[in-house]
Amino acid sequence: MSRESKEYAKALFELSPSKKEKEERLEDLKKTALIMKGNIEKFFTHPEISKEKKKEIIKNDFPDGIFKNFLFVLSDNGRMDQIEDIKTDFENLLLETNKAVKAKVFSKEPLSKDYLSSLKAKLEKKLSKDVDLTNEIDDAILGGIRVEYDSKVLDATINSQFSDLVAKLKE
């Protein structure tokens, strides 16, 4: 993330006064970031395509409102390629405001809904925050789980236990 993407995210965040509007802007950002992943990003970042043509696409394809104006500003400033970073920064602002944290739990196989619910409850109690928990598969894990949140790692995998054992044996 760049300083610019954080500034744009903050500006859009402040232009969306209610929680509902902030959540709508996040959805707008997610959809736009998804759209931008293909040839559309090349169109918006191509130096020989005029700002007017770029604005015409935005004008025709997005509903009137704050978000459309926000996209005009991004286009004018040549920042459409930062939409993914802006989305991430905006999402982080929303999580901070809602006193929530995003967490990922890595496992060899998909975890059951009951297990994820239990883990989520434990993390929420430990952190005193709402937790948005997602399960990601990591084939390198032999067994157990690894939880990552706020640049922290809770590693209860067999891999880490092996590493600890090897380190102790080398002592």
Q: What is the pLDDT of residues 122-131, one digit of tens each?
A: 999 988 888 9
Residues of the chain with CATH 1.10.520.20: 3-95
Residue at 24: amino acid letter = E
Residues of the chain with CATH 3.40.30: 99-170
With cut-offs at 50, 70 and 90, classify the pLDDT of residue 52: very high
In this prediction the pTM is 0.62
pLDDT of residue 97: 84
- Tell the CATH topology of 3-95: Peroxidase; domain 1 (1.10.520)
pLDDT of residue 93: 92
- Tell the CATH topology of 99-170: Glutaredoxin (3.40.30)
